[in-house]
Structure 1
Amino acid sequence: MRRRTGRMAAVAVILMYGVVGCGAPQGHEDSAPYLPPVPPPRPGTALPLDAYQPSPDQQARSDRAQATLERACLARFGLRWEGPEKTALEFGPRAIASERADRFGVVDEDEAARYGYRPPPWSTRNPQVRAALTGHHHNPPPEVEKVLYGLAPEHEGRRVPDGGCRAEAAKELMRGAPQADRSLPLRLAQQVAASRARDPRLVQALRAWTTCMARLGHPYASPAAAAQDRRWKQDEPPTEAERLVARADVRCRQETRYLPTLIAVTAKHQRELIDRHALELGRLKRLEDIRVHNVAAVLSA
C-alpha cells in the first residue's frame, strides 16, 4: 500500500499475495470511506489459472487470520493493537475481485456510456478507489510498530522475532506448506496475454471487430488502441467522444463475439501452460490448500 515510507507499499504487495492479514478494525471503522461493492465476474469469464490463486474470500480470511496471529504475538510483549483499518482489510479481497470482474476491459454498454474507458467506481484500477483504500490509515504506535515490523531486536528484554510479529504470523500460516513459486500463475497469465494474439481465431475476431468499428466511424486497430487513444485524458472526466467510442466498442465486441473468442483462446493457452508446468503448479496448489487449512485453524481457535 502507498505510504509516506516504503513500508506500506510493501504491505500492499504482501496483501495481494495473502501473507499479511488484517484484523477487524475497531478504532477507525466509523470514518472509513464507502465504496460500492464489486459485482461478480460475468458468467463464463473464469480462467483455468484462477484455480491456483486465492479467491477474494480466501484472501479476506487469510488477512483476518494473519491479524489474529499478529495481535497474539504483540500481546506476548504486553502490547495491544486493534489492527489495520477496514480499508486495509478490504484492499486485498477487493483487488482480486476487481481484477476478475473487469479483466477484459469495457464489456458493458451501460458502463461504457457512463465512464467511457475509465475504471468504474468499484474497481481498484480506479484512482479514487485506490486513494480511498490506501490513504485512510493510521500508523501503529511507535512501540507497536517496532515489534510488529521487527524494527528493534528486543522489547523490554524479550527478543523480537526476525521480521517482527508480521513475519512470524505469515510463517505460521504457511506452516507445513511446500516451497512453491506463488508468482508463477501471474507470470503464466502474462505469457498467455502476449502469445494469444497470434491465435488464428483471435486474429479473425479482431479483424471482424476492426471492420465493425470502421463501419461506425471509429477506425482503431484493436480494443486496446481504442482504450488508449491519446484524446482520453486520464486526469479529466470522460468526454462525450470517449463515451461514444466505448459504446461502439462494446457493441462491436457483441456483434463479432470478440469477447467469447478472447476468453476461449485465453483459456486454451492457459491450459497448455498448466500442462507444461504441472509439477510446479501442483506444489503451488498444495501450498494454497495447506494455507487455507492453517487459516481455518486460526480463525476457529
Structure 2
Amino acid sequence: MRGAAAGVVLLAAVLVSGCSAGQSQELKAGSGPAGGSKVDERAWPARTPVSGLTKGMVLPIEGYLISYPETVAWQRAQQSLWKRCMQRYGFTSFDPPEPGMFPPPGYDDANMARRYGISDSKEAARYGYHLPGGMGEPPVWEPGEGAERAVFSGSGVQVRSGSYKGEKVPENGCQGEVKGKLGRISYALASKVEFASLEESRNVPAVRSAVAVWSSCMKSHGYRAEHPYKAPDLISTLGSENPSAAETALAVADVGCKKTSRLVDVWFGAEEKIQKRRIEENQLALDEERKKNDAVLKTASRANDY
C-alpha cells in the first residue's frame, strides 16, 4: 500500500500463487458475503485455471509467490490494526474500504489464464480481450484531512512534539506502528524468477517454432500478428466498455490457433523446465523469503482472530 500522503490503493492485483504446504490462507470456494461484509469470495480467482488451454496448469514458482487470499488476509490485518490504533486517539469512524472487493483476474502474479495471451475460447467469444465480468478498479483511499491524517501518518500541525491532545503518537503515526507490528510481504526474488523465466522461455526454439505456427494460422484467418502478445494491437476497442464483434472474432481465432499450434502446452513445458532450474539455483534464498512471508501471514492471522 502506498503511504498516506500519496493515497492508499487497496491492491487488487497482487497476482499471486499457491500457498506453501504449511499455509492455511486458502481460497474458500463458494463462500459469499458474511455478516456485514461486502466481499463475495465466490468472485475471487481460482487457484488454477478451471477452463481453457491452461486448465489446471501450475508453474513451480507459484509456491513461493503470495496468493490473493493471503494478500487479502494481510490487508485485513493491517486495517484492523490501523483501526485499533486510531481508536486510541478518538477516531472511531476511521474506516478504509474493505479489502477483497476488487479481485484481480488471476490467483497470483503468474496469471496463468493469460500468461501466454488469452487461452479460453468461451471467454474469447464473450469478452474478446476484455477481462471477464467487467472487473472494476480498486478504490484509492486516503485518511481524512487534518487531525486524522496527522495521527495516521505521524506528521501535521495537529501532532505537536510527537503528541496529539496530550497522547504520544507513534513514530510515523498509526501507519508506522502497524508496519512495525505486522511486517510487510515481500517476494521480490520469487517475482524475479517468475518474470525471468517467462522472458527466457520466449527464446526457446520449440516455443519460437510454435509461435510461428500460431502466426501462420492467424494469417490463414486474415490476421497478421507475429506474436500472441501483439494480437490485441490489431483491434482498437480495448479501451471501450464492451468488446466489438471484430474483437471477439479476433480473440476466438487467437485461441483457436493456440490450440492448433499447441503453443500453450509447448510454452508451459519450456517455462516449467526453466523455473525448476532457476529455483534450484536460488533454493535457499527462495525458502528464506517464503519463510519470512509465512511469519508475516501468521502474525496477520492472529490480528484477524483478535
- Band of TM-score, shorter chain: 0.7 to 0.9
Q: Which amino acid aligns with 1:7?
A: A
Correspondence 1:232 to 2:236: yes
Deviates most, 70-79 or 53-62: 70-79
Post-superposition shift, 1:193? 2.2
Shift of residue 251, structure 1, vs aligned partner: 0.8
Please state if 1:103 is matched with 2:109. no
Q: Flag the structure with higher helix content.
A: 1
The TM-score with structure 2 as length reference comes to 0.76
Amino-acid identity (%): 23
Q: Which runs of 5+ in 1 are unaligned?
A: 19-28, 124-128
Distance of aligned partners of 1:238 and 1:185 in 2 relative to their CA distance in 1, 3 Å threshold: same
Q: 1:140 to 1:17 in 2, by over 3 A?
A: farther
The correspondence for 1:148, drawn from 134, 149, 152, is: 152
Task: Tell me if 1:165 matches 2:174.
Answer: yes
- Matched with 2:139 is 134
Separation of aligned partners in 2, 1:140 and 1:13: 20
SS at match of 2:226: coil
Contact 1:70-1:169 at 8 Å conserved across structures:
yes
Residue from 248, 253, 263 that aligns with 1:248: 253
Find 1:61's aligned residue among 58, 65, 73.
73
Letter in structure 1 aligned against 2:282: H
Give, as a single letter, the amino acid of the residue that structure 2 aligns with 1:246. Answer: A
CA change 1:155–1:16 in 2 (3 A) is: farther
Aligned length: 273
Per the normalisation by structure 1, the TM-score is: 0.77
Read off the aligned partner of 1:235 and give its amino acid letter: G
Task: Check if 1:7 corresponds to 2:19.
Answer: no
- Contact persistence 2:187–2:290 (CA under 8 A): no
Q: Is the 8 A contact 2:62 2:108 kept in 1?
A: no
SS where residue 202 of structure 2 aligns?
helix
Superposed CA deviations along residues 142-192 of structure 1, whole A, max 9, x for unmatched, are: 322221222243211233222221222122123xx9xx9632222222222
Q: CA separation in 2, counterparts of 1:6 and 1:270?
A: 39
- In structure 2, the gaps of 5 or more residues are 17-35, 50-54, 157-161
Is 1:210 matched up with 2:215?
Answer: yes
| 8 A contact 1:98–1:122 mirrored in 2 | no
Alpha carbons of structure 1 residues 96 and 204: separation in structure 2 relative to 1, 3 Å: closer
1:101 shift after superposition:
5.8
**What is the aligned partner in structure 2 of residue 277 from structure 1?**
282
Q: Is the CA contact 1:274–1:281 (under 8 Å) kept in the aligned structure 2?
A: yes
- For the 8 Å contact 1:65–1:299, the answer to whether it is kept is yes
**Could you tell me which amino acid in structure 1 is paired with residue 114 of structure 2?**
R
The verdict on how the C-alpha distance between 1:189 and 1:234 changes in structure 2, with shifts beyond 3 A counting, is same
Q: CA deviation at 1:7?
A: 1.8
Q: What's the CA shift string for 1:225-278, capped at 9, x where partnerless?
A: 21222x424333433222211101111111222112222222222222222222
CA RMSD of aligned residues (A): 3.4
User: Matched residues in 1 for 2:207 and 2:100: separation?
Assistant: 39
Question: Per the alignment, do residues 286 and 39 of structure 1 end up closer, same or farther by CA in structure 2, a change over 3 Å counting?
Answer: closer
Please give the residue correspondences for 1:19-38 in structure 2 after superposition, counting only pairs within 5 Å: 37-38=43-44
Aligned partners of 1:36 and 1:121 also within 8 Å: no
**Distance in 1 (alpha carbons) for counterparts of 2:281 and 2:108:** 28
CA contact (8 A) 1:149 1:165 kept: yes
Are residues 1:259 and 2:264 paired? yes
Amino acid corresponding to residue 43 of structure 2 in structure 1: P
Distance in 2, matches of 1:262 and 1:248, equals 19
Matched, 1:90 2:89: no
In 1, are the aligned partners of 2:129 and 2:248 still within 8 Å (CA)? yes
